[in-house]
Amino acid sequence: MEHERKQSTLVVRITGELDHFSSQKIRRELDLLLADPGVKKLVMDLKEMTFMDSSGIGVILGRYRTISRRGGTVAVKNMNPQVEKVFLLSGMDQIIKTI
C-alpha cells in the first residue's frame, strides 16, 4: 500500500489482493494514517487491486465509519471489473462515492 497526503486529503493506493489474509495488515496501516484528525477525505485508488472479498469490504466500511464520524468523505476510484462487481453487489456504492 502506498499513500500520499495533500492537505486534508489522503490518497491510498492498494495493490494486489484485499482479502482475509491481507486485510489485517491494510487495516492497521490505514488506521495509523487516519489517526490524524486532520484527514477529512480518504480516496482509495484501487487500480492495482486484483481481488477483493468480504474482508476487503469490511476494511473499506470501517474506514468509512472513521472518516464519517469526523464529517469527512470516502471515495474509491479505478476499480477493475471484478473488484467493482464485489463493490456493487455489497451495496457499497450506496454510501461510498466512485470517482
Query: Can you give the residue range of the structural domain that contains 82?
Result: 2-98
The residue ranges of the chain whose pLDDT is under 50 are none
Range list of H helices, the chain? 23-34, 54-69, 81-89
Q: Structurally, how many domains does the chain consist of?
A: 1
What is the rounded distance in angstroms from the CA atom of residue 56 to the CA atom of residue 18?
A: 5
pLDDT tens, residue by residue, 47-65? 999 999 999 999 999 999 9
> CATH number of the domain that 17 lies in?
3.30.750.24
- What is the model's pLDDT at position 8? 97
